[in-house]
Every structure is written in structure tokens, then in C-alpha cells.
Amino acid sequence: MTAVTRTGDRQFRRHHQGRRRPAAARRPRLPLIVLLLGALYCLTPVAWVVIAASKTSRELFTTFSFAPGTGLLENLANLSSYGDGQFWKWGLNSLLYAGVGAILSTLVSAMAGYALAKFRFRGREVLFSVILAGVLVPGIVLAVPQYLLMSAVGLAGTHWSVLLPVIINPFGIFLCRVFAAASVPESTLEAARLDGAGETRIFGTIVLPMMVQGLVTVFLLQFVGIWNNFLLPFIMLSDQDKYPITLGLYTFLGKGAGDGDLYSLVIMGSAVSVIPLIALVLVLQRFWRADLLAGGLKG
């Protein structure tokens, strides 16, 4: 009787497990569908801008479709020749602001994050709390006070008025503290100090290489943020020769109210301005792959 009961129990479990398998097999599809919808939502505007950049003014305003147009080279030539190549001057300014600003911001964030993670000093937690509070403050709130400060020291309207405010990045400091605490062992620092290495040498030759994956993330986030920044240059700058791409395209759009052909230049300029960001992500993604591989080997 017991054997029969056990056999029946096994058959009952097999029957219900077989019925549950299709439902379990369908579960992983839901996250995939959500990710695909999110990717479609984010990439559709980019695809439309790229396709619209290939259309002439007539094609742009008479039809709405995702079919490529016939004016790609013409729009690119008009964009390059407008204002004696003013768009490319704006592009160089954006590279200056985003490149130099992101490098300096990443270095400052690395030093501050490392100090907050590995050194014990009075007021450390209070200082870190203030930095976290700075993450919650939107940039639009600080833009006008920053302009007043730059104007007081005579830097308003210069390249420095856009570069200096972006060097201190509270979110970057927070990330660097997390990366330093996780990737820099205390034993390594103690061994270097016992060998007679100074703190500057330890930071430059030991800490920075260990934090490189995290620093790449901070650099990329800061580069993209500065590249897309509009409000700060809009408040600080008055000379069009110092405009970044975002502010330059805004002036194009303002003039386009009286000249419909400038809308094609705005769209073409928007498409071109995305290329450096895509190239930067493709170049830096190998650091994330190396980090994931290292984490898999550790596991």
C-alpha cells in the first residue's frame, strides 16, 4: 500500500511540474520584452533624426516617413559652409568643454572619492553628507549663482566660465568613493607605505590603475552631461564664437523661424553631434567588458 501511494505521489508531482514548465519558460521573456520596448523608445528619435538629416527641406515638410531622403550630402555641405564653418567651431568648443571638463572632473572626483573612502579624519561623514546633498540639487538652481561668482572675478563670457563649474561633480565623487572602497585593498596601501612610497605616488601608480573601470564610467557620464549641457553656456556666454553645439543649434533654430531652410541644418547638426558620443561609448566599452570578465573570474 505504501509503494502504491509513493508511486501515485511521484506521478502527481510529475504531472503538475509538467504543467508549470511552460509558465516558467515564459517568465524570462517579460524582462526581454520590456528591454526591447525601452530600447525602441530611446532609439526611435535618434533614428528619425538620422533619417531626417538626409532629407531636403521640401521632403522634410511635405512627407513624414522613415524612408531616407536625397539631400544628405547637400545638407552636410550647407552645414559646413554656413557662417564660414561656424558649426565646426561650435563642435571644437564642445570638445574643449566636454573633454577637458570631463578629464579634470574625473581626476578631482577620483582624489576626493579615494580620500573619503580610505582616510579617517574629523568631519568626513559630514562632508560626505554634504556631497550627497549636492547630488540632489538640480543644476538650474546653481546656474545663476555661478554666473554671479564668475562675473565677480571677471571670468563671465570666457571659456573658464563653462569649464570651472563642471569640475566639481558630487555624483562623480560619490561613485569614486564607492569604487575606491570596493577595488583598492587596504593591505595593498599598507604594503606600499611600508616600502616607503608617498601618498602621491601611491595614488598615481596604484590607486588610479585599480579604479580605471570606475573612472571610465565617471568620465563618460560627465562627458555626456557637459556635451549636452545647454543652460550653463546659455547664461555664461555671449560671444557666438565660444558657443558649444547645443547653444549653436539653438541659435539656428531661432533663425529658422524666418528661414525654413535652416531647419534642415538644425536636424543635420543634431545628427552630427550624436556621432562623438556614439564613438566614445564604442571606444570605452572594452573597459566595462574587462571589468565584467574580472568579476566573473573572481566569482
Lookup: cell for 44: 526611435
Residue 136 and residue 171 in contact, taking contact as beta carbons nearer than 8 Å:
no
Per-residue pLDDT reduced to its tens digit, 52-84:
888 877 777 777 777 777 778 888 888 888 888
- Which residue has 582624489 as its cell numbers? 111
Lookup: cell for 203: 595614488
The answer, yes or no, to whether residue 109 has pLDDT greater than 90, is yes
Inter-axis angle of helices 212-227 and 160-167, nearest 10: 140
15 vs 200, more confident: 200
- How long is the chain? 299
Counting the structural domains of the chain, the total is 1
How large is the average pLDDT for residues 82-101? 91
**Domain range spanning residue 204?**
74-298
Query: Is the CA virtual torsion 72, 77, 83, 87 positive or negative?
Result: positive
What is the percent of the chain with per-residue pLDDT over 90, rounded to a whole number? 30
- Please report whether residue 40 resides in a domain: no
* Residue-level pLDDT at 9: 54
Lookup: cell for 227: 556635451
Out of 5-14, 96-105, 173-182, 237-246, least confident range: 5-14
- Please report whether residue 148 resides in a domain: yes
- Chain mean pLDDT for the chain: 82
The answer, yes or no, to whether residue 257 has pLDDT greater than 70, is no
Out of 178-187, 217-226, 255-264, 274-283, least confident range: 255-264
* Residue-level pLDDT at 51: 86
Q: Give me the DSSP letters along 91-135.
A: HHHHHIIIIIHHHHHHHHHHHHHHHHHH---TTHHHHHHHHHHHH
How large is the average pLDDT for residues 152-180? 91
- Please report whether residue 47 resides in a domain: no
Out of 8-17, 91-100, 210-219, least confident range: 8-17
How large is the average pLDDT for residues 244-265? 78
Per-residue pLDDT reduced to its tens digit, 39-54:
889 888 888 888 888 8
Residue 142 and residue 165 in contact, taking contact as beta carbons nearer than 8 Å:
yes
The CATH number of residue 240's host domain is: 1.10.3720.10
- Please report whether residue 25 resides in a domain: no
- Please report whether residue 165 resides in a domain: yes
Per-residue pLDDT reduced to its tens digit, 190-242:
999 988 888 889 999 999 998 888 899 899 999 999 999 999 999 999 888 89
The answer, yes or no, to whether residue 35 has pLDDT greater than 80, is yes
The answer, yes or no, to whether residue 172 has pLDDT greater than 70, is yes
Helix (H, G, I), strand (E, B), or coil: what is residue 64?
coil
Quote the DSSP letter at residue 113. Answer: H
Opening angle at CA 284, ends 279 and 290, nearest 5:
150
* E strand or H helix at 147: helix 139-152
Helix (H, G, I), strand (E, B), or coil: what is residue 104?
helix
- Please report whether residue 52 resides in a domain: no
- Please report whether residue 193 resides in a domain: yes
Backbone φ and ψ for 18, nearest 5 degrees, come out as -65, -35
The answer, yes or no, to whether residue 296 has pLDDT greater than 60, is no
Q: Count CB neighbours of 166 within 10 A.
A: 21
- Please report whether residue 20 resides in a domain: no
pLDDT band at 135 (very low <50, low <70, confident <90, very high): confident
* Residue-level pLDDT at 245: 92
